Amino acid sequence: MVTIEACQYRNVTPTTLEHARQAFADRHPQSRLQHAAARAVLPGGHTRTVLTHLPFPLTLVAGHGSVLTDADGQEYIDLLGDYTAGLLGHSERRVLDAVAAALSTLASVGGVHRHEVGLAQLMCGRFGLERVRFTNSGTEANLMAITTALMYTGRKKIMVFHGGYHGGVLYFASGAAPWNAPYDFVVAPYNDLQGTLALIDQHAGQLAAVIVEPMLGSGGCIPSAPRFLADTFAAARAVGAVCIADEVMTSRHGPTGLADLLGAKADITTYGKYIGGGFSFGAFGGTAELLDQFDGERPQGPGRRVISHAGTFNNNIATMAAGEVVLGEVFTADAAVAHTARGEELRGHVASVLARHRLPVSVSGFGSMMSLHALAEPPRTPADAAGRDDVLQELLFLGLYQRGIYTAARGMINLSLAVTDDQLSVALDALDDCLGELAS
């Protein structure tokens, strides 16, 4: 939640922000009522912290294609894409039809089914995995990937990165959060190769794994600098640590994910978000040597034991059937390549719009993921991103809302397959108009 402080830009004041918040509340009386009712039973009025913003989050009642409708009947071009989970847009018929057909045969089943095997085959083939296991979320996938490394190495320390996010209990926006899972973390500086290598060397004999996002997602869409990811993995592997790439968000880039595009090869990769086609989904996959620790039919090596991985809904019918359609029909490797290129083109157009105005606003990202920052230059590190002008950032967010463009309060934009070129033109015009109004 943003507090009103002095804005760095002389034409934008805290009073301007107060007026923008009041105007937002006045335009959304039904959402305001819904929020008040929700707060009586839900802390904060919802169960997803990232949705918090002043004066209140919208209540959404319908979605079709790339258009969302709120409780007051106002429509928005959805450029948030549910923080990368909504890659397909809203109500993709191929996915919904496949799920309905699957559920008409099986619902909740305490056994293996063909959709589980089918999705596993698609994932192994698409992402070059020898083995894969499913979970209910990216958080679970990362927890299980870390567990895999701890059990394999017999070590205790896990290297993470400042600004990283690997789930609700693996949160490092400002170092390790006090509510995190109780692992022994070593927090390294993202995009600082020398500082990272020094920490790997310092903890070499105790380091079980390094887990890193090829591009910080919630940390501001900050991509790995050239060679940072590859050289970090090489150094970690040299001391016997397991290399984990968190591609819960970034596996959408290119045919096999962002790590491959950056020339880095992980031992374990985690997945989530869009692959479930709108249903709860997570997965972790990698080498047979690591993943076969979960195989109860195979003898384990001396001193090793089979790792238990429970979860009633790990292989739930709806998600498995949806995932088959997503990877098999909708978001093929060729579609991913084209979508990454389209995202790069959009970010270039956004940068061009920003350059026409004197406000300190920039854009960072890769492919179909990007973030607007109230900063004169795109951030390279989480420390850079933390220096943004919070008042200007919120005014930009509320200004885009007012013009029918749905983004994240923190500036994140994720291009979905459903957004048309005409809608992108409308969004760019809205950004241009918003910046012009703020500058004047």
Binned average pLDDT, 10 residues per bin, the chain of 440 residues: 45 84 97 98 96 97 98 98 97 96 93 96 98 98 98 97 97 94 97 98 98 97 96 98 98 98 98 96 98 89 86 96 98 98 98 97 98 98 96 97 98 98 98 96
Q: What are phi and psi of 335, to 5 degrees?
A: -65, -35
What's the number of domains the chain is made of? 2
Whether residues 169 and 140 fall in one domain = yes
Whether residues 290 and 234 fall in one domain = yes
Residues forming a β-bridge with 29 = none
Q: What are phi and psi of 128, to 5 degrees?
A: 70, 35
Separation CA 288–CA 283 (nearest Å): 15
Boundary-marking domain end, from 278, 310, 330: 330
Whether residues 279 and 386 fall in one domain = no
User: Rg (Cα) of the chain, in Å, rounded?
Assistant: 22
Q: Which domain holds residue 303?
A: 93-330
* pLDDT in the model for residue 109: 87
Q: Is the residue at 9 inside a domain?
A: no
Boundary-marking domain end, from 274, 308, 330: 330
* pLDDT in the model for residue 300: 74
- Which H or E run includes 185? strand 184-188
Separation CA 367–CA 258 (nearest Å): 9
* pLDDT in the model for residue 413: 98
By three-state DSSP, how is residue 257 classified? coil
Boundary-marking domain end, from 295, 330, 365: 330
- The number of C-alpha atoms within 13 Å of 100 and in the hemisphere containing its C-beta is 7
- Which residue, 153, 154, 257, is CA-closest to 212? 257
Q: Is the residue at 339 inside a domain?
A: yes
Quote the DSSP letter at residue 329. I
Separation CA 300–CA 438 (nearest Å): 63
